[in-house]
């Protein structure tokens, strides 16, 4: 039985050199070896297959491949092509020109994440980008478990330890339907604001945390009426329907503000200006493809972020 594990690239390249130059001397000159070394490589290869691979003839062209030798030469050429392709692919991966990157995005960012992925896919067509969306706690957990390579979120977490870079502004405000009693006031009185029903995301949402801090500071710990909902879309539609008001990222409601379905309330200290950040865990080195995407995202300078009413586009 032929032991293919005994076949070496050196033997195959020796056979190719001898067949193409039609002599041991020519093969030796091409490979920088001695004729005895060439002869030894050919003999070892023939021993593996158990048949002659070259015709030995006293004619002017002494070394030509046998039928078996031609089959081995064809395989050798295919192997060289595959190795060449592999070399290109490895170089592309090492230079960040190809690969796969998982990008985590907090749920509030789903309103611009597809546009960002489209821009990145155009700039880096050979890099496959997987988008993973979740609330703040889920994204932090993904970072800790290395389920994502990069993540776009608001305030970077304390744990896991991450490296971060600011991407662009992230304004937050309180929105209401245009016919709400507090709509249009130059400044909403705090007691009247705190008397409203607030529609909010679940615990673990970054927006919910920011809202809680804002209302606690404004009302000095006063408890407000709050209805919890599972998505920003549900909250928006519920506010439009008049079920309450909501503290939201203004990037979430850009279209509704633009077309007059919602309005911002002029509450004290609003809008709150935060930033979007691109983060990655410091305990794991980024792959070349993730590094390239990181560079591309930073280079965009937040141009993919929505521009809301009253905000100058980035």
pLDDT tens per residue across span 182-221: 999 999 999 999 999 999 998 888 899 999 999 999 998 8
Stretch 266-281: mean pLDDT:
96
Which pLDDT score is estimated for 63? 81
Q: Check: CB of residue 128 under 8 Å from CB of residue 290.
A: no
pLDDT of amino acid 58: 62
Confidence of residue 83 (pLDDT cuts 50, 70, 90): confident
Instruction: Tell me the C-alpha distance between 308 and 199, whole Å.
Output: 21
63-67, 264-268, 269-273: least confidently modelled range: 63-67
Q: Report the pLDDT value the prediction gives residue 149, as an integer from 0 to 100.
A: 95
Closest by alpha carbon to 262, among 289, 274, 286, 244?
Answer: 244
pLDDT digits (tens, 9 = 90+) for 279-295: 999 999 999 999 999 99
SS3 of residue 101 by DSSP = strand
pLDDT bucket at 312, cuts 50 / 70 / 90: very low
Cβ–Cβ contacts within 10 Å for residue 19, how many? 22
Tell me if 236 sits within 8 A of 252, measured CB to CB.
yes
Alpha helix (H) residue ranges in the chain: 9-21, 24-31, 35-49, 67-94, 113-123, 136-144, 190-194, 206-219, 232-240, 254-258, 288-300
Residue 309, pLDDT > 60, answer no
Give the mean pLDDT of the chain: 90
pLDDT at 56: 77
Asked whether residue 92 carries a pLDDT value surpassing 70, the answer given is no
pLDDT in the model for residue 3? 80
Query: Looking at per-residue confidence, does 81 or 262 come out higher?
Result: 262
What percent of the chain shows pLDDT beyond 70?
94
pLDDT of residue 5: 83
Average pLDDT (165-175) is: 96
pLDDT for res 314: 42
According to the model, what pLDDT value does residue 224 have?
Answer: 94
Contact 35, 62 (CB under 8 A): no
Are 243 and 199 spatial neighbours (Cβ–Cβ below 8 Å)? yes
pLDDT at residue 311 tops 60 = no
Rounded to 5°, angle at Cα 144 from 120 and 231: 65
């Amino acid at each position: 039985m032929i032991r293919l594990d005994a076949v070496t690239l050196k033997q195959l390249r020796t056979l190719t050199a001898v067949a193409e130059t039609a002599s041991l001397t020519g093969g030796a000159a091409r490979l920088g070896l001695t004729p005895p070394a060439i002869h030894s490589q050919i003999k070892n290869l023939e021993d593996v297959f158990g048949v002659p691979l070259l015709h030995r003839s006293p004619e002017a062209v002494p070394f030509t491949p046998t039928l078996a030798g031609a089959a081995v030469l064809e395989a050798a050429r295919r192997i060289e092509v595959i190795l060449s392709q592999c070399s290109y692919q490895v170089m592309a991966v090492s230079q960040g020109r190809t690969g796969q990157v998982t990008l985590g995005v907090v749920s509030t960012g789903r309103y611009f994440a597809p546009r960002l992925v489209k821009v990145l896919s155009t700039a880096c067509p050979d890099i496959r980008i997987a988008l993973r969306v979740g609330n703040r706690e889920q994204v932090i957990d993904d970072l800790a478990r290395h389920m994502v390579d990069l993540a776009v979120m608001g305030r970077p977490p304390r744990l896991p330890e991450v490296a971060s870079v600011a991407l662009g502004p992230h304004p937050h405000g309180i929105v209401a339907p245009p016919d709400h009693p507090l709509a249009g006031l130059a400044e909403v009185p705090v007691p009247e604001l705190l008397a409203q029903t607030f529609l909010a995301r679940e615990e673990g949402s970054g927006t919910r945390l920011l809202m809680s801090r804002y209302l606690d500071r404004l009302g000095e710990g006063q408890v407000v009426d709050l209805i919890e909902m599972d998505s920003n879309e549900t909250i928006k539609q519920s506010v439009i329907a008049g079920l309450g008001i909501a503290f939201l990222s203004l990037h979430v409601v850009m279209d509704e503000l633009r077309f007059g379905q919602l309005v911002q309330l002029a509450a004290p200290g609003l809008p709150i200006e935060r930033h979007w950040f691109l983060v990655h865990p410091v305990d794991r080195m980024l792959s070349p493809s993730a590094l390239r995407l990181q560079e591309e995202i930073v280079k965009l300078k937040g141009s993919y972020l929505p521009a809301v009413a009253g905000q100058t586009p980035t």
